[in-house]
Amino acid sequence: MIGWKFAFTRRWAGYLALTIVFAAICAGLGTWQLARRAEALAEIVKVDTNYDSEPVPLAEALPDRTDFTESQKWLPVVMTGTYLKADELIVRNRPLNIHPGFEVLTPLRLVDGTVFIVDRGWLPTGDTPDAPSSVPEAPDGVVTVVARLKAGEPQLAGRTALGNQIATINLTEVQGRLDLPTYTGAYGLVKSEDPAPGERPVPVTRPVRDEGPHLSYAFQWFVFALMAFIGLGWSVRQEFRAVNADDPQERSRAQERARRQAAKPRSDAEIEDDLIDFPR
């Protein structure tokens, strides 16, 4: 009887190594999906905690112009100042519900002389994809603005813009254009303006409360890792039966398996297959 000696050959050691590598990759992908889910849940917590909370003064939320923590995302802040309409900027390539468009950034000069960047909303492309047809004018004079905080964006290599357009909401770049003391830690998505303008860009809507399919994907990857070892075990067992087919004990076990298989009630599908295959 050969027994299990074949399982300790170089060939089966290679199969085991491949199975371990495959399972490790699956486990890594499953762990990555769990991390993605944790990020999504953290975003949901920020929305639930901050989005509908009472506005706090900007100076209280951001004591320094470079201050901002991710836990403050969507936090409403209130400030009073004057819009610098001549320095308004248009952000390119900002889709909304798959429609191409732009976002309007209007600097707000506060009473202390610092500038906070207000994202007044979204506009669709105009007659050409290079610019909106028109930009609703910001309110004149002193205005009180409530806006929800959001972190500035990094610069993207190869993305450029001309004139009053910018490629991303990079607040350091915006400060350089304005040449004024500007908040660079965060900008604000407008919630309300007082006095309110007659027309305004499309405001940002509340983020969808959805954690995504990450948990189910993680489960699937972990199952794949487990199935790899189950498949390896099944293959080893099948080869054991093949290489030991002449052993009396293995022949006896094979006959017992055949007897149990024959004793099983036949399924409707098997009966139908026999009827189809029966010669007429």
Comparing 164 with 54, the larger pLDDT belongs to: 54
How far is the C-alpha of 107 from the C-alpha of 166, rounded, in Å? 14
- Give which of 150, 123, 152 is closest to 135, Cα–Cα: 123
pLDDT of residue 232: 93
**Residues 60 and 36 both lie in one domain:** no
Q: Which tens digits make up the pLDDT trace of 122-166?
A: 999 887 888 888 899 999 999 999 999 999 998 877 776 777 889
- State the DSSP code for 216: H
Token pair in block for residue 98: 């798959």
Whether residues 82 and 125 share a domain: the answer is yes
**Residues 150 and 38 placed together within one structural domain of the fold:** no
Three-state SS for 117-173 is EEEEEEEECCCCCCCCCCCCCCCCCEEEEEEEEEECCCCCCCCCCCCCEECCCCHHH
Average pLDDT over residues 187-196: 94
Q: Examine the domain organization and report whether 59 and 178 are in the same domain.
A: yes
Q: Quick check: is 162 in a domain?
A: yes
DSSP state of 96: B
Backbone angles phi, psi at 166, to 5 degrees: -130, 155
pLDDT at 267 over 70: no
C-alpha–C-alpha distance, residues 184 and 211, integer Å = 30
Please give the pLDDT value at position 271: 61
Q: Measured in Å, how far apart are the chain's first and last C-alpha atoms?
A: 46
Condensed to tens digits (0 to 9), the pLDDT of residues 82-126 reads 999 999 999 988 888 888 999 999 999 999 999 999 999 999 988
Is residue 172 very low, low, confident or very high in pLDDT (cuts 50, 70, 90)?
A: very high
Is 57 within a domain?
yes
Together in a domain, 156 and 237: no
Neighbours of 250 (CB within 10 A): 18
Q: Which of 9-13, 14-18, 45-49, 154-158 comes out lowest in average pLDDT?
A: 154-158
> What mean pLDDT comes out for the span 47-76?
95
Global pTM reads 0.75
Asked whether the beta carbons of 235 and 15 are under 8 A apart, the reply is yes
Is the same domain home to 107 and 240? no
How many distinct structural domains can be found in the chain?
2
Its domain, for residue 190, covers 52-194
Give CA–CA dist 58/147, Å, rounded: 9
pLDDT of residue 70: 93
In tens, the pLDDT along 197-214 reads 888 999 888 888 889 999
User: What sign for the dihedral angle of Cα 260, 262, 263, 266?
Assistant: positive
Q: What is the pLDDT of residue 268?
A: 65
* pLDDT for position 112: 92
Q: Above 70 in pLDDT, residue 280? A: no
Residue 208 lies in a domain: no
Instruction: Please state, in angstroms and rounded to a whole number, the distance separating the CA atoms of residues 152 and 87.
Output: 18
